[in-house]
């Protein structure tokens, strides 16, 4: 029998055991954003006709939290194991690189979705943003969490210390998510910044995800899917290849 | 019969260190084998290559006939490794760790064997304790337990008794011996040479990445007729000066003298009697592995 289910189970338990930090904390974070931005902007900003700013903001926050936590899950699990040395517990058994990759990736997706649902439920306390196309919403949530979970694997393998990870988080993950239209529609930007935003894959993740809630978006969900699917596959392949090479894990 | 461990021309270069400089070694199934050597000799590096944690710069290694690189899944399935570093996973209890480890090897419902391991390593009452909260010696035992969950044919222990108390060392060795009798091959590194002498049928000594001695333990101990005479003198007495060239070790009033053959004994006893020192204890024994080790390491550095 394969060792994959047990590794997946362990990776999920790892964050679930400390759910206070890994689930509650990010949900609380999103709640603070929601309180502040909706208080300041609700009366002044309407992005789509008939949709209030808070309702517009909720899917953005859900997606942002899901992405960041998917990244945090795989990257912090790997770096912790590398630093404490207990990575050997998963390197000694006959687990293939694909099984290894799959377990860390799926655990990251699960954490992303759990946090996302938490943020969504908290948002519902303020206002129901609707759920026009649940399948679209789910597809984008999974693909985006997968992409960031895979980036987390790459970063976790590459990083030698927590500082390195913090660097990736501050200089890559945070700018990508903040400049993707979480808090605004890119139509409110100047044409130059609009075209820059169109180069950011995270923009399509959030835009497509919003379509799942409001049934309306800046670009068509098919267009977003066509951008994100290859991106996600590419980063997954890269991360699997890195594992196969033994880079920094089997030196 | 395939060898349990087979190593050919193995080399490992780190940036500034040539840690293994061409190792050839065959360990047959069922052996209890000691890999000895001073700090930095390359023991852990060799074990890491067997375990697939480190890649060799040249040469190859097989576990039960499976190449550690090209047939890694089979090789790993046949191997259990107790790492030298005291590592643990701070999120989980002892039993959880053993269940995970079983699961990684594809084993479900392994609890009967897990309980037996826990019992043999005196860990039963710690089964539900978080590994973070265990003492150093207990963490070491958990590492041993983790290496055994899948009943590997080849068991490699990298200094398993460092920091483990005397009583438990006995219990641990009794357990490992039993596994050895049941057919498991044991490869052991230790700096306690009396352990290696008592347990292992064959010994390899490593120095600066080379094998400098490889033989049956008995042959190493019986090389030559050299013996040791341990005499304990009364506290006030000095060893007669004429015997000083024979002195190999002194601890307080205990003197260990070199005896080239039994005929030497007569002369030594006469000297002691005529010089009038009081002998309060006397013991004749074989040369031990520690002395062989020191001699071999010494010769190598002269060369
Ligand atoms: N990752 C590494 N990078 C660079 N050099 C290393 C690395 N690991 C080990 N070495 C070097 O390789 C040599 C052999 O080390 P190794 O750990 O195999 O020794 P050992 O025989 O296990 O020693 P000990 O008895 O202290 O455990 C040493 O000189 C060590 O400094
Ligand atoms: Mg070592």
What is the pLDDT, as a whole number, of residue B300? 65
CB contact under 8 A, B104 and A93: yes
Rounded to whole angstroms, how far apart are CA atoms B56 and B48? 9
Does residue B282's CB lie within 6 angstroms of at least one atom of ligand 1?
A: no
Does residue B44's CB lie within 6 angstroms of at least one atom of ligand 1?
A: yes
What is the pLDDT, as a whole number, of residue B258? 87
Tell me: pLDDT of A187 over 60.
Answer: yes
What is the pLDDT, as a whole number, of residue B301? 62
Sequence-separated (6 or more) residues with CB below 8 Å from residue A93:
A3, B76, B101, B104, B105
- The answer as to whether A250 is a domain residue is no
The alpha-helical segments, DSSP class H, found in B121-165 are 136-148
The string of pLDDT tens digits covering residues B145-201 is 999 999 999 999 999 998 888 988 999 999 999 999 999 999 999 999 999 999 999
DSSP state of B9: E
Q: Which residue of B lies nearest to A16 if distances are taken between CA atoms?
A: B91
Tell me: pLDDT of B57 over 90.
Answer: yes
Per the prediction, chain B carries an average pLDDT of 93
- The answer as to whether A38 is a domain residue is yes
- The answer as to whether A240 is a domain residue is yes
Does residue B54's CB lie within 6 angstroms of at least one atom of ligand 1?
A: no
Question: Percent of chain A scored above 70 by pLDDT?
Answer: 100
Rounded to whole angstroms, how far apart are CA atoms B168 and B141? 9
- The answer as to whether A251 is a domain residue is no
Which residue do the tokens 């630093």 mark? A83
Helices A53-84, A25-41: crossing angle, 10 deg rounding: 150
Tokens of B278: 């009081």
Q: Which domain holds residue A70?
A: 3-245
| Residue B117 distance to chain A (closest CA, Å) | 18
Tell me: pLDDT of B1 over 80.
Answer: no
Kindly report the pTM of this predicted structure.
0.91
The string of pLDDT tens digits covering residues A106-143 is 999 999 999 999 999 999 999 999 999 999 999 999 99
ipTM value, please give it. 0.92
Q: Which residue is closest in CA terms to ligand 1's atom 26? A: B39
Q: Which residue is closest in CA terms to ligand 1's atom 1? A: B14
pLDDT-derived band at B224, boundaries 50, 70, 90: low
Specify whether the CB–CB gap between A218 and A207 falls below 8 A: yes
The string of pLDDT tens digits covering residues A167-180 is 999 999 999 988 88
Domains and CATH numbers, chain B: 5-221 (3.40.50.300), 227-286 (no CATH)
Q: Which residue of A lies nearest to B47 if distances are taken between CA atoms?
A: A92
- The answer as to whether A140 is a domain residue is yes
Rounded to whole angstroms, how far apart are CA atoms A24 and A14? 15
What is the pLDDT, as a whole number, of residue B302? 52
- The answer as to whether A219 is a domain residue is yes
Q: How far is CA A238 from the centre of its chain?
A: 18
Tell me: pLDDT of B64 over 80.
Answer: yes
The tally of domains found in chain A comes to: 1
> Which three-class secondary structure state does DSSP give residue A133?
coil
The string of pLDDT tens digits covering residues A53-67 is 899 999 999 999 999
Where in chain B does DSSP place strands (E)? 5-13, 18-27, 32-36, 58-63, 66-67, 79-82, 154-158, 185-189, 202-207, 210-216, 227-233, 247-251, 254-259, 279-286
């Amino acid at each position: 029998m394969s060792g994959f289910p047990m590794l997946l189970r362990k990776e999920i338990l790892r964050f679930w055991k400390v759910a206070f930090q890994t689930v509650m904390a990010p949900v609380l974070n999103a709640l603070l954003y929601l309180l502040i931005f909706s208080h300041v902007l609700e009366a002044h900003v309407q992005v789509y006709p008939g949709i209030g700013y808070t309702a517009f903001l909720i899917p953005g926050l859900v997606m942002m939290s899901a992405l960041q936590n998917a990244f945090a899950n795989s990257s912090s699990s790997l770096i912790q194991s590398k630093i404490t040395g207990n990575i050997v517990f998963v390197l000694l058994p006959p687990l293939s690189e694909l099984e290894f990759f799959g377990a860390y990736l799926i655990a990251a997706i699960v954490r992303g979705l759990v946090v996302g649902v938490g943020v969504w439920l908290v948002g519902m306390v303020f206002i129901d943003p609707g759920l026009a196309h649940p399948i679209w919403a789910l597809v984008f949530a999974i693909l985006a969490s997968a992409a960031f979970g895979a980036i987390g694997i790459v970063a976790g393998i590459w990083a030698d210390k927590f500082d390195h990870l913090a660097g990736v988080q501050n200089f890559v993950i945070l700018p990508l998510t903040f400049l993707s239209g979480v808090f605004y529609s890119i139509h409110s930007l100047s044409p130059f910044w609009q075209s820059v935003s169109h180069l950011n894959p995270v923009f399509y993740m959030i835009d497509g995800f919003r379509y799942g809630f409001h049934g309306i978006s800046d670009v068509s969900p098919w267009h977003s899917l066509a951008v994100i699917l290859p991106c996600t596959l590419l980063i997954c392949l890269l991360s699997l290849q890195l594992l196969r090479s033994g880079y920094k894990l089997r030196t | 019969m395939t060898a349990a461990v087979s190593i050919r021309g193995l080399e490992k270069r780190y940036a500034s260190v040539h840690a293994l400089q061409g190792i050839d070694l065959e360990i047959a199934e069922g052996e209890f084998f000691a890999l000895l050597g001073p700090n930095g000799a390359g023991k852990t590096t060799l074990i890491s290559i067997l375990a697939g944690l480190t890649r060799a710069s040249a040469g190859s290694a097989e576990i039960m006939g499976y190449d550690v690189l090209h047939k890694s899944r089979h090789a790993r399935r046949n191997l259990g490794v107790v790492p030298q570093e005291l590592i643990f996973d701070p999120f989980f209890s002892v039993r959880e760790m053993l269940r995970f480890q079983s699961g990684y090897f594809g084993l479900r419902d392994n609890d009967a064997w897990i309980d037996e391991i826990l019992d043999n390593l005196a860990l039963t009452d710690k089964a539900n304790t978080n590994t973070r909260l265990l003492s150093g010696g207990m963490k070491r035992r958990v590492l041993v337990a983790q290496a055994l969950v899948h009943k590997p044919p080849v068991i490699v222990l990298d200094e398993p008794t460092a920091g483990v108390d005397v009583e438990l060392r006995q219990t641990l060795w009794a357990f490992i011996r039993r596994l050895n009798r049941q057919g498991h091959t044991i490869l052991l590194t230790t700096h306690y040479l009396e352990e290696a002498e008592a347990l292992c049928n064959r010994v390899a000594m490593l120095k600066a990445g080379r094998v400098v001695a490889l033989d049956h333990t008995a042959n190493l101990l019986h090389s030559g007729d050299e013996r040791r005479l341990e005499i304990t003198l009364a506290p006030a007495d000095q060893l007669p000066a004429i015997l000083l060239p024979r002195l190999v070790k002194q601890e307080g009033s205990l003197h260990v003298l070199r005896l080239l053959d039994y005929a030497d004994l007569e002369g030594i006893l006469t000297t002691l009697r005529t010089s009038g020192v009081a002998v309060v204890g006397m013991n004749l024994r074989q040369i031990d592995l520690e002395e062989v080790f020191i001699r071999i390491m010494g010769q190598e550095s002269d060369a």
